[in-house]
Homo-oligomer: A and B are copies of this chain.
Amino acid sequence: MAIEGKSEGTVSRRLRLGMVGGGQGAFIGAVHRLAARMDDRYELVAGALSADPARARASAAELHIAPDRAYATFEEMAAAEGARPDGIDVVSIVTPNHLHAAPSIAFLRAGIHVICDKPLTSTLEDALALERAVADSGLFFGFTHNYTAHPMIRQAREMVAAGEVGDIRVVQVEYPQDWLATKLEATGQKQADWRTDPARSGAGGSLGDIGTHAFNLAEFVSGLTADSVAADLTSFVEGRLLDDNAAMLLRFAGGARGMLWASQVAVGNENAVRLRVYGTKAGLDWHQEDPNYLTFTRLGQPRQILTRAGEGATPGNSHAARVPAGHPEGYLEAFGQIYRDSAEQITARLEKRAPNPASLLVPGIAEGVRGMKFITAAVASSRAGSGWTKV
């Protein structure tokens, strides 16, 4: 409890933020907006919020966006905002997967920084094109693998990097849900509809929606690179076109082994992300649903329960925490941390100064491309009898 309040910072300006997607009826757009507001580093001033013009206008009004900055298309928005002297500094892309690449590229070309939802795109081709566009632009590209921004995940990564876990042998990661245990897409439920549609989601179902989070988390914390996967993807719900259960073995460069499980039919699970990392010296265990704890056990010592902003907090834990230990933070705060750290990086560019190094952990285009390679490899492996396939 002995933490003094954090000031919101000393920046002289809030970043001007635009949004593509996220109109009425969407889910993740509202999360991005709340995340952007949390630490007062952004002001939402423009949007192309929906492909439906009426919905786009209504959504913008609700969000206090001026009518002249409520655009019908992202192309129009990128052009107009890129030309305004008070144009947006950064845009959030919160559309379905197949509509990530084109707007991202359009805004980058207009000189506007980008924060993009995951997975990166619906095809590897799109991902590689976007990768080139980011490189060409020299601009900031943030990628919302939000789970990486939990204070205890930051601490886990730091402890691994500091050698406290020793040489890593085993990485176990899983992300079970149950919301697609029945054919929800047949009911017209909007979230289920596009996520189970290969044209909009890409080649992965649970694999792309949640498996990429799990994969990213495993690499983020372990600091290891997955070399190959042996995957078994299944569509349990009759008539479903994409996998709703993805099981796989992992081999990491350097010899570590792992397992990854993503499921949307595991009845009784809400968003039960769990990551475990075992090395020669210690083991780590983290659950997303109880994110303020990290179980850490040194070989031959009693188990410890480390807490957010608690005793033994590393700098990265403290950096990503807002309130004292024992007052739980959660999903929105971690998402907000992605936005806070992105704001710091973008502002530093605008102010031509070095950013706070602690802000540099925001995932970016590399992690986005990596996720697409992961999806591609897992699908290929599963089709080829679960043989080992390079990521």
**Chain A residues engaging chain B, CB cutoff 8 angstroms:** 1-10, 14, 22, 24-31, 33-34, 37-40, 59, 62-64, 169-170, 172, 177-179, 181-182, 184, 189-192, 230, 232, 234, 236, 245, 247-249, 251, 257-259, 261, 263, 265-272, 276, 278-285, 288-292, 295-307, 310-312, 322-333, 385-388
Task: List chain B residues, Cβ under 8 A from A269.
Answer: 283, 326
Bound form: Cα–Cα A283–B264 in Å? 12
Q: Which residues of B contact A280 (CB under 8 A)?
A: 181, 267
Nearest CB of chain B from residue A149's CB, rounded to whole Å: 13
In the complex, the count of this chain's copies comes to 4
- A2 contacts B34, C-beta separation under 8 Å: no
**CB within 8 Å for A27 and B5 given contacts A33-B40, A259-B247, A265-B170:** yes
- Once bound together, how far apart are the Cα atoms of A261 and B170, in whole Å? 11
In the bound complex, CA of A64 to CA of B304 (Å): 42
Which chain B residues border A290 with CB–CB below 8 Å? Answer: 290, 328
Tell me if B182 and A299 are in contact (CB < 8 A). yes
Complex alpha-carbon distance, A279 and B296, angstroms = 25
Q: Is the CB of B234 within 8 A of A178?
A: no
What B residues does A328 contact at CB under 8 A?
288-291, 328, 330-331
A181 pairs with B299, CB closer than 8 A: yes
Contact of A302 among B33, B282, B310 (CB under 8 A): B310
Q: A278-B268, A322-B332 are in contact. Are A8 and B27 (CB under 8 A)?
A: no
* Chain B residues within 8 Å of A303, by CB: 268, 304-305, 307
How far apart are the CA atoms of A260 and B29 in the complex, in Å? 38
A329 CB to nearest chain B CB (Å): 5
Smallest distance from the beta carbon of A210 to chain B beta carbons, Å? 10
User: What are 23 inter-chain pairs, A to B, with CB distance below 8 A?
Assistant: A1-B177, A1-B271, A3-B27, A4-B26, A4-B189, A6-B30, A8-B30, A10-B62, A37-B40, A169-B236, A169-B245, A181-B299, A234-B257, A266-B276, A267-B282, A267-B297, A268-B284, A269-B326, A291-B328, A302-B310, A303-B305, A329-B330, A332-B332
